[in-house]
């Protein structure tokens, strides 16, 4: 519960800080023209006294969804859908802010210019300085698809590591041993992407399989910004440098879509010659040819929960505990994966469902109902020095 409101006026708060009442009003309405130090002092007093305006609110509060890149992929559209679904129900506005990494002061100015009352940060590379500036802004802030240590900030993460483990083990159970991986052009700079890749690495190692260097490739540069376009040229290169691959995991469904096109263009059949797995479960993946096996990443739910948490903060100034939660992922098996064509030659025993009856290096852990595989119950400690 929030603190009981104390009998205090805007003029008393202004006097305590040493500013005018209009300055306090500007802070309360998230307007520009107030320095961050003064804004911080005023916000602390507003929280201390649980002070809210007694006059009618002229406009509804606004939540900013900050995106670090201009890519409007299915991932971002689903996040926006979740945010919009809650804001419409709650009578709150939302806006999109495109920001560049390294422009923390500019981001804060953008938030003030837009008179934002709360912030949702989309996936991306988040530095300590970004978190520190946002934590001291006086705004409720929720990060998506990452964790943050600062107790003033919240997050809605997803268990991408376990989802990636499930996807990799699914391919292993189908007899695949030569499994490649398609990264985005940013590699593993994004926390969520590091966890996806590490799940693949750890599961392959647990199965006793050494990953050859040529099996993993970063997205190649292109003048087109779509993940699909990057996936096409990157998959072409991967097939050239590692033609022995019988299965491929893609960092997301956008890259997988491009990879499917490149595989078709090469004359290979999916899944008879090569299987492919995506990540995120975009809305149309079940309608692709073939329907894509992927990991369902509940990003729409994450957007909804983040907006809901911001609303609670606005209703309870000074008494809000930031939401910090991790959502489960699940493997969705469709038509783009099938038994390895070389499984008979490998001597691997298959059960009645066409899966390997035993996998070398199998470790006890959490049982996945979707995939029927054993998974590690926690995320990996990522080390990319090897």
Q: Check whether residue 113 and residue 42 sit in a common domain.
A: no
pLDDT at 259: 96
In a domain, 257, yes or no: yes
Long-range CB contacts (< 8 A, 24+ apart) of 3-12? 3/50, 3/318, 3/319, 4/50, 5/49, 5/50, 5/51, 5/52, 6/49, 6/50, 6/51, 8/49, 8/51, 10/51, 10/53
Proportion of the chain above pLDDT 70, given as a percent:
78
CA distance readout (Å), 255 to 87, 271, 289, 376:
31, 17, 15, 26
Proportion of the chain above pLDDT 90, given as a percent:
51
| b/e sequence 228-252, b meaning 16+ C-beta within 10 Å | bbbbbbbbbbbbeebeebbbbbbbb
Strand segments, DSSP code E, in the chain are 62-67, 93-98, 118-121, 141-144, 154-158, 179-182, 216-217, 247-250, 275-277, 294-296, 324-327, 330-332, 366-367, 374-375
Q: Check whether residue 337 and residue 258 sit in a common domain.
A: yes
In a domain, 386, yes or no: no
Q: Which domain holds residue 19?
A: 1-58
In a domain, 267, yes or no: yes
Q: Check whether residue 263 and residue 336 sit in a common domain.
A: yes
Answer for the pair 153, 143: CB distance below 8 angstroms, yes or no: yes
Q: Check whether residue 200 and residue 247 sit in a common domain.
A: yes
pLDDT at 383: 38
Q: Check whether residue 236 and residue 353 sit in a common domain.
A: yes
* Cα(347)–Cα(175) distance, integer angstroms: 10
Q: Check whether residue 171 and residue 274 sit in a common domain.
A: yes
Helices (H), 222-296: 227-241, 253-265
In a domain, 214, yes or no: yes
In a domain, 12, yes or no: yes
Task: Evaluate if residue 156 carries a pLDDT over 80.
Answer: yes
Q: Give the CATH number for residue 219.
A: 3.40.50.2300
Tokens linked to 377: 């119950």
Q: Check whether residue 248 and residue 224 sit in a common domain.
A: yes
In a domain, 66, yes or no: yes
pLDDT at 6: 55
pLDDT at 234: 95
Q: Give how many domains the chain has, as a whole number.
A: 3
Q: Check whether residue 166 and residue 19 sit in a common domain.
A: no
Tell me what the mean pLDDT of segment 182-196 comes to: 85
What phi and psi values does residue 140 have, to the nearest 5 degrees?
-70, 130
Give helix 191-206 / helix 160-173 axis angle, nearest 10°: 30
Q: Check whether residue 229 and residue 291 sit in a common domain.
A: yes
* Cα(195)–Cα(96) distance, integer angstroms: 26
Choose one of 58, 77, 105: the last residue of a domain. 58
Q: Check whether residue 234 and residue 204 sit in a common domain.
A: yes
Q: Give the CATH number for residue 25.
A: 1.10.260.40
Burial class (CB in 10 A: 0-12, 13-18, 19+), 266: middle
Tell me what the mean pLDDT of segment 177-203 comes to: 90
Q: pTM of the full predicted structure? A: 0.77
Tell me what the mean pLDDT of segment 90-115 comes to: 82
Average pLDDT, whole number, for the chain? 82
In a domain, 263, yes or no: yes
Q: Check whether residue 164 and residue 271 sit in a common domain.
A: yes
More confident residue, 114 or 81: 81
Burial class (CB in 10 A: 0-12, 13-18, 19+), 125: middle
In a domain, 381, yes or no: no
Task: Evaluate if residue 65 carries a pLDDT over 90.
Answer: yes
Query: pLDDT digits over 300-320, tens only?
Result: 999 999 999 999 999 887 788
How does strand 366-367 pair with strand 374-375? antiparallel
Q: Check whether residue 119 and residue 87 sit in a common domain.
A: yes
Query: pLDDT digits over 334-376, tens only?
Result: 999 999 987 655 555 556 555 655 555 444 333 333 333 333 3
pLDDT at 224: 64
């Amino acid at each position: 519960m929030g603190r009981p409101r104390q009998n205090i006026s805007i003029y008393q708060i202004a006097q305590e800080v040493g500013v005018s009442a209009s300055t306090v009003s500007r802070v309360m309405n998230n307007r520009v023209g107030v320095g961050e130090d003064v804004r911080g002092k005023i916000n602390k007093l507003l929280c201390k006294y649980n002070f809210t305006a007694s006059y009618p609110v002229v406009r509804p509060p606004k939540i900013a969804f900050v995106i670090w890149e201009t890519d409007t992929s299915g991932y971002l559209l689903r996040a926006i859908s979740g945010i919009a679904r809650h804001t419409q129900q709650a009578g709150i506005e939302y806006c999109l802010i495109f920001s560049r990494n390294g422009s923390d002061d500019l981001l804060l100015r953008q938030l003030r210019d837009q008179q934002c009352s709360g912030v949702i940060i989309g996936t991306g590379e988040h530095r300590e300085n970004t978190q520190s500036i946002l934590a001291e802004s006086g705004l409720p802030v929720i990060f998506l698809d990452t964790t943050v240590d600062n107790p003033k900030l919240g997050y809605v993460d997803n268990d991408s590591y376990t989802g990636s483990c499930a996807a990799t083990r699914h391919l292993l159970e189908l007899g695949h041993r030569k499994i490649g991986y398609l990264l985005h052009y940013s590699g593993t700079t994004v926390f969520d992407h590091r966890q996806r890749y590490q799940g693949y690495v750890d599961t392959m190692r647990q199965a006793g399989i050494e990953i050859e260097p040529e099996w993993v490739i970063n997205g190649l540069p292109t003048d087109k910004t779509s993940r699909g376009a990057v996936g096409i040229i990157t998959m072409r290169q991967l097939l050239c440098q590692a033609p022995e691959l019988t299965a491929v995991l893609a960092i997301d469904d956008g890259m997988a879509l491009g990879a499917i096109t490149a595989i078709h263009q090469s004359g290979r059949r999916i899944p008879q010659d090569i299987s492919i797995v995506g990540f995120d479960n975009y809305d149309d993946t079940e309608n692709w040819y073939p329907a894509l096996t992927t990991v369902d990443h509940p990003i729409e739910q994450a957007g909804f929960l983040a907006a809901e948490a911001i609303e609670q903060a606005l209703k309870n100034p000074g008494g809000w505990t930031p939401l910090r939660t991790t959502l489960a992922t699940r493997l969705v098996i469709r038509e783009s994966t099938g038994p390895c064509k070389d499984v008979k030659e490998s001597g691997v025993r298959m059960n009645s469902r066409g899966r390997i009856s035993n996998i070398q290096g199998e470790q006890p852990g959490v049982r996945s109902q979707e995939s029927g595989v054993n998974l590690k119950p926690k995320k990996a400690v990522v080390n990319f020095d090897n």
